[in-house]
Amino acid sequence: MNTLILHSKSRNDLNLLLEIAKKFGIKAKVLTASEIEEVGLGNAIKEGLTGEFIETESYMKTLRK
């Protein structure tokens, strides 16, 4: 599965693209602000995962600065 995210200030342009997608048999969905935040948060989490162990106390000191 491939995903394409489009962003436009023009609601009319997005509606046109949605209509075209449906005519081609492509599933399309308008995301809510909350869904957009979830995608961004998920990407940030994936980026931050290193698989390395971090000592809690050291991490907490860094956050307190």
Q: Give the pLDDT confidence score for residue 28 in this predicted structure.
A: 93
The pLDDT tens digits of the residues spanning 2-34 come to 988 898 999 999 999 999 999 999 999 999 999
**Res. 56: pLDDT tops 90:** no
Q: Give the pLDDT confidence score for residue 54 in this predicted structure.
A: 82
Q: Which of 18, 35, 34, 38 is nearest to 26 (CA)?
A: 18
Where do the structural domains in the chain lie, given as residue ranges? Answer: 11-49
Q: Give the pLDDT confidence score for residue 63 in this predicted structure.
A: 86
Burial degree of 21 (CB within 10 A; 0-12, 13-18, 19+): middle
Q: Give the pLDDT confidence score for residue 52 in this predicted structure.
A: 83
Which band of pLDDT confidence, cut at 50, 70 and 90, is reported for residue 62? confident
How many angstroms from the chain centroid is the CA of residue 4?
A: 11
